[in-house]
Structure 1
Amino acid sequence: MYTMATILRVTLPDDRTLELPPGSSGHDVALAIGPGLARSALAAEVDGDLVDLHRPLNGDVRVRLITERDPEALELLRHSAAHVLATAVRKHRPDAEIGFGPPIEEGFYYDFGVEQPFTPEDLEAFEATMAEVIEADYAFERREVTKAEARELFADDPLKLERLEEFDDRETITVYRDGPFLDLCRGPHVPSTGRLGPFKLLSAAGAYWRGDERRQMLQRIYGTAFFSKKELRTHLNRLEEAKKRDHRVLGKQLELFTVDERVGPGLILWRPAGSIVRNEIEEYEKELILRHGYEIVYTPHVMSERIFEISGHLENFAENMFGAMEVEGARYRAKPMNCPGHICLYQADQRSYRELPIRYAEYGTVYRYERSGVLHGMLRVRGFTQDDAHVFCTREQVPGEIE
């Protein structure tokens, strides 16, 4: 018999309450509700935090069980799939250095330090081994360790050791094991590898460690995973269709734009045909801007560094700005945003509340230092033109401006 002091009270999303013995987990909550839920549950949300299904509950808590129907489920699945990928790579390349392996919007990736780039044949071999790991149904086992213990566990993993140095010496660190593979990870994961659904490894590409081109070049494997074959098939078909419409391919075929290594990566050169398209878009947008009461302004591409100190950009955004230029003893920067210039325009005259709202709009070209590893066609660049706008108004006028 459990005393009143040791009973664990669990509140469900519908405000029903369960009383369970101490040490119970999300899985026990699912069992108490019904065997079907126990089979389908993947994880638990405990007082707002997502945790492993078998992690013991601590005190009286509010619990929501996560199944594949919940929005959190796909990210959970893909995170676990990334670990299964690393398990497979380690089997084929025991000396591979292990980087990071997070879920991303449409799948997952994992970074590996290897001497030779991965080939399509490698990916096929990894997929076959991943299927074996899933078939083996290894439990994802969570363990808490000290920093010193973690150093011993990952003594042969230099990338993990570097990551460990960011932890406080007194901080509790979590590691996860699935079968033969151990990883430094906060979790959570699905209960076991057998809970993973259909998956596909999509590609391998170079990626700098931590996105820093001064660091080691790793090999990043991209993949995706779903709960059903139909979902995976639909996604792969969509990717094939997207390849046909890739703006980088169309830009070359239609002679819209180009890049030149002599100009620099991430800096677009607009061809005549592309310039016509761009101009048509700009003219159409200008009509809309003027119709909605905006005034068109222009601000310099280069400004004194002082203005970015005042605006806070230098303090909070310096790593994404190009370096300073020395001119006659003063420091200048290529602008990363148009905001400071628009504020200076507003402050150029004395203002009355009767003038408000004042709406400024600009096709302002800005420059941002993006690491070369993340540059992507015209989607991630170092110089681009924004259809940017700022509204100066009273607090009472804000709802009307939003409408």
Structure 2
Amino acid sequence: MTFDRFQHPAQVVVSAFGAAVLLGTGLLSTPYATTSGDQARLLDAVFTATSAVCVTGLVTVDTDTHWSVFGELVIAGLIQIGGLGIMTLATLFAVLVSGRLGLRARLIAQAETKTLSMTDLRRVVRKVVIFSLTSEAVIATVLTARFALGYGEPFGQALYLGVFHAVSAFNNAGFALWSDSLVRFATDPWICLTIAIAVIVGGLGFPVVFELLRFGRRPAGWSMLTRVTLVGTFTLLAVGTVVITSTEWENPRTLGQYSDPGRLLVGFFTAVMPRSGGFNSIDIGQMRSESWLVTNVLMFIGGGSAGTAGGIKVTTVALLAFVVWAEMRGDTRVNVGRRRLPDDTQRQVVAIVLLGIGLVVTATYVLMAMVPYSLDRVLFEVVSAFGIVGLSTGITADLPTAGHLMLIALMFIGRIGPLTLASALALRERGRRYELPEERPIVG
């Protein structure tokens, strides 16, 4: 495999994810992939393949009833590929085969895994794969035992359900093998808490997880990335749980139908899933509009950098808050703890936020012109696709073809990142050899 024709590693990442979508589409288009034995609609195959590779979970057809076991295995495989990152897998294979990496291959893998240094990249990639597979094995073991002992499933079926949902949960994909997702397990802590923990760990980001494993309870050794990600993640989880639980507490169509302990469990689970988990234990379409708004914010932010979650990332929002705070204080530099935030990182933060907002607003406007649904439902669907979350108010399957194509594009962009796509489309990086005179306009 050669990458000489590509000017930037991000181009390879985009091309590789596109190739995975095409491969998944081809496999899902075969008669073996459907329960009826008929060839699936091309649009359904493309949408499902994109949703799986981009670890989103939005669907146009019911996963359990429409796809056969072969089709479900294809979906699980695409989720695994998308979660780990195609370039991470490609780098690992290169290491195993040749035992060495060239500079270009290192740059490509760095673009996908977002490691902060190219030092010991082979070791990092191995750790990513080993940690992912080990985590999925642990999750699968717990789920398999629960399905077998708690619900009387035969061991083979319990193992199949456990492995599929372990892969889907750790990779923040949100695909479930029941038409109602996890509604039937809403008050089962063994199922819901296991999947919630898998979503949180998978969404923290591999650099953060590895640093926690290395330094453990010694915060002095934590980097800025780890500190910001942890504080931002648990703040959003706490705020989301309190707001959603309190808003839906008396809603008889959501939390109101359960006992108090059940409401707390369902409220916590519902607050975790917008960070890209995509599973639901209540009918999202029956939630109050206020809860949709909060969920939109959580989906747009997403999880940690270099993890399986989507969104503009917790780190991005947290660093933007530091930038705003420094500007309000009149500081000439942005400091995070005892470290200074570089100017180029500040520009990147602002660019990611503005690109994300612009994309969501534009897509919402265009989609509203196509469908008769209200703004809150359309916005929810758009943010869910962009944040590669997979939650839906129930209108995905009813959208027109143009609407489905738009969601496909949003899922793809949301997975690889706005800046990655922009840099991949650029033919070359250009540096200026001169500086223009400075002029300060009136702002605000």
Structure ranking higher on relative contact order (CA contacts 8 Å, 6+ apart): 2
Alignment TM-score, normalising by the size of structure 2: 0.25
The answer to which structure has the higher strand fraction is 1
Higher helix fraction: Structure 1 or Structure 2? 2
After TM superposition, the score normalised by the length of structure 1 is 0.26
Larger radius of gyration: 1
